[in-house]
Amino acid sequence: MKSSKIFTRGVLDVLPLLIPVFPFGLIIGVIGVELGFSPLLVYVSSLVVFSGSAQIVLFQLVSGGASPFVALASVGVTNSRHFLYGAVLSEYLEDLSTSWKAFLSYFLVDQSFALSHRFFKENNSLKNKHFYLLGSGATLWFVWQVSSLTGIFLGSIVPEELGLSFAIPLTFLSLIIHEFKKFDHLIVIFISGFLAI
């Protein structure tokens, strides 16, 4: 299969997961500006951090007066799950050069990991399978940047009654919805959710 077709499949497969991602990015833009950060700083955080949960932690801690060390350490802990993502996918990408691995790691977020892991398991023999991660991750990145910018510039006119905060749990729910078909997975999901509460 050609690299362009694998890339396109990654783009198409991630499209349904973009439905909750856009309002989540919108919320990031709104929250950042509402907490007193400059629009430029909020947008740079979307470029550098590229993680909604970590950005929320960062904004709230810094605006609350936390030290830079505490804020950065908290962001690091919040994003530590990406080490696991990288470890899981490394067996499928071991033939890639270090520069390719470093480049792809920037696009390795929750949604691109969930899709890529399934695709890599089903298509392990494909030589150019990493283009799937690139396609899904780059699409998520683009939508995240657009939605963050929209939140920054239009957030002040979005009515609070719209309740955009629903997008945060919906984003993560969309990642596990596929697992609802299996009864044993349902048991694990509900027990984990109950224990977390």
Tens-place pLDDT, residues 99-114? 999 999 999 998 999 9
The pLDDT value recorded for residue 157 is 64
DSSP H or E run through 54: helix 52-63
pLDDT band at 180 (very low <50, low <70, confident <90, very high): low
Residue 67 is given by DSSP the state -
First to last CA, the chain: 45
Instruction: Decide which of 32 and 173 is more confident.
Output: 32
The pLDDT value recorded for residue 12 is 96
Q: Which residue has tokens 């009864």?
A: 183
Amino acid in position 50: F
Question: What percentage of the chain's residues is helix, strand, coil (to nearest 5)?
Answer: 80, 0, 20
Mean per-residue pLDDT of the chain = 83
The most confident of 63-72, 139-148, 161-170, by mean pLDDT: 139-148
Angle of the 110-122 helix axis to the 167-176 helix axis, nearest 10? 10
pLDDT band at 158 (very low <50, low <70, confident <90, very high): low
Going 68 to 72 to 73 to 74, the CA torsion angle's sign is positive
Q: What is the mean pLDDT of residues 34-63?
A: 86
Q: How far is CA 170 from the centre of its chain?
A: 12
Q: Name, in order, each residue with C-beta under 8 angstroms of 139's C-beta and a sequence gap of 6 or more.
A: 10, 11, 14, 15, 18
- What six digits make up the tokens of 25? 């990015």
Residue 124 is given by DSSP the state T
Residues 149/43, Cβ–Cβ less than 8 Å: yes
Q: How many residues does the chain have?
A: 197
